[in-house]
Each structure stands twice: as C-alpha cells, then as structure tokens.
Chains A and B, each alone.
Chain A
Amino acid sequence: MHKFKRRGGVISSDLNADEVGMLESLLHELIDLIGEGTDQAGSAGDADDPFAAWAEELADDRPVEPPEDPVLRRLLPDAYPGDPKASAEFRRYTDRTLRRKKITDAQVALRHLAETDGGRQDLRIPVEEVDSWLRVLTSLRLAVAGRLGITDNTSADEIASIPEDDPRSFLVSVYDWLGFAQETLVLAL
C-alpha cells in the first residue's frame, strides 16, 4: 500500500489483494477474540433494539474477572490496578460496551475492505468513519504485538532486530505494516 491520502471527505489508499486478505483475516480473528465469553460475537440483533441491550446489561449482576488471555487483558485493561474490587466493579459496567464498540469498529473496517473488491478498488474511508479505523488498527497492533511477545521496550527492540530467517519475521512485517498504515492515517487527517 501507499500512504493514506485525504481528498475532501475521503481518506484512501491502494491495498493489494494480499493486504486486503491479511487485514480481513486479522479482523475476523480479533472479532472472535473479543467476542469470546459474550453472546455478542457476530450478533447484529442488538443493533435494532438498543434499549433491550441496555436493559440486559443493567440486569447482569455477575462480577467480571479480568480476561485470562494476555492480548484481551491488554485490550480491556484494569482501571484500578491496585484495587481488584474497584476494577471488577468498573468491568461490570464497561466490559460489554467496550467489547461491542471494538467489534463494531472491526465491522466498519471489514465493510470498507469488502468495498475494495479484493483490492481491485482503492480502500476509501469517509472521514467520519476514520476513528473506527484508528481504533481497530491499534487493536490489531496490540494483538500482533502480544503474539510476538512485545511487552516492554526491551522486547520491542529485540523483535525489531530479528534476522530475516527467523520464523517470526512474517508476523513482524505485519506488525510494521500495521504501524505504517496507522501512522499515515493519522498524518492524512
């Protein structure tokens, strides 16, 4: 892809078929990961009745534990790190909405990618939907970073300097590509 460019109310770039395919695959994995443990994955039913969804959330009294998956835990962090009880309370109020928002962002991106017809057309993002892309590119970067074991600046530096024949190379190139996409998207705004 070339860097994103803004023309009027649309920000666009030319992704090839492989790039579109890779993004779509990562987005589907992300939706599966975030949708785990809820009945929301792939469900569009709530969209038509926001009151029903909201009532369902209020009625849900279960305490919510932090996720076990380290990537999910980074996507849905503790708000009160020194206070597990306050964190669990906070999760109880925010977990489902936050997950749904991240899934919605991924679905917006998938819709735009589908419109490229497998990369034959440019990826075109209306400026009013660009926030979804910024957020979901971050989620994807965090997910790939998690898989690469990037937990701090030291591990980030190590990963940045692995040799080309390292089996993690492809994933590192995906990580770099996502960084390029996000950086140029922010620059284009």
Chain B
Amino acid sequence: MDGMPATSDPVLAPAGGTAIEDRPIEESYDQSPWATIVWDDPVNLMSYVAHVFAIYFHYSKAKAHRLMMAVHTQGKAIVATGSREEMERDVTAMHEYGLWATLDRADAG
C-alpha cells in the first residue's frame, strides 16, 4: 500500500452494494466455508483500505486497521468468510472500491 499514515476516521453508514443475480440453484449446493482475500498493491492508500473495510464489512476502526496492516505487511489477508455466494458478493464490492480481492476455500493454503 501507499505509506500515507492511517487515519482515525469514524465508521460510516453502510455503502450500497451492487446486486448480482443469483446462480442457478445446482451451483449453490456448496455451503462449505469460503474466504474473501484482499491482496496488497502498491497504489491503494492505507487509510483508504482501512476505510473500505470499516464501511463495507461494518468492522470497528480497530479491526479494519488491523486487517489493513495484515494486508500491508503479509501481502494478503482473509477479510471475511462465508458461503461462496456471499464471498463473491464481497469480492465484487472490493473490486468496486478498486481493491484487489479474490476468493478461495477457507481451508486452502
């Protein structure tokens, strides 16, 4: 991330997401846990990344900051877990905010 100092910005009201039509039901059988992973990139500001985590996931400032630092120092971090559909929604939202996110099974390496 770009090394501008992290902020103490307040948590805001939730941002609206983009609606995605649901998959055909046979693809929704997989209820095993999946994870949304956010990857570090050299462009996004630390303050911005923490802000996105706070407003989208409704995390506390402290948790949002901790996750942002994990992304920054470890190259990536799991920011949410849930069903595959939920994680696809989260990944899409992260892409709307310009973060680089992927999904994978929660128990994958």
Contacts and interface: CB of A to CB of B under 8 A. Distances in A.
Chain A, interface SS category: helix
Interface in A130-162: 131, 134-135, 138-139, 141-142, 145, 150-153, 155-156
B47 A183 contact: yes
B7 A187 contact: yes
Given A186-B9, A187-B7, A150 B45 contact: no
B102 A189 contact: no
Given A101-B96, A135-B97, A189-B12, A80 B102 contact: yes
A189 B51 contact: yes
A184 to B, nearest CB: 10
B20 interface: yes
A75 B98 contact: yes
Contact of B10 (A58, A101, A189): A189
Interface in A32-60: 54, 57-58
**Most chain A C-beta atoms within 10 Å of own C-beta, residue among B20, B48, B97, B98:** B98
B91 interface: yes
A134 to B, nearest CB: 7
A79 B20 contact: no
Interface stretch (A19-27, A61-69, A91-99, A164-172): A91-99
A78 interface: yes
Contact of B43 (A54, A90, A131, A141): A141
Contacts of A138: 43-44, 48, 97-98
Nearest to B36: A79
A10 interface: no
B75 to A, nearest CB: 10
Contacts of B23: 93
A189 B54 CA distance: 12
A108 interface: no
A28 interface: no
A118 interface: no
Interface of B: 2, 4, 7, 9-10, 12, 15, 18-21, 23, 42-45, 47-48, 51-52, 55, 88, 91-92, 95-98, 100-104
Interface of A: 54, 57-58, 74-82, 90, 93-94, 97-98, 101-102, 131, 134-135, 138-139, 141-142, 145, 150-153, 155-156, 179, 182-183, 186-187, 189
Q: Which 6 A-B pairs have the closest CB atoms?
A: A138-B98, A156-B42, A145-B43, A186-B47, A79-B91, A186-B51
10 contacts: A79-B88, A79-B95, A131-B55, A138-B43, A138-B48, A138-B97, A142-B98, A150-B42, A187-B47, A189-B9
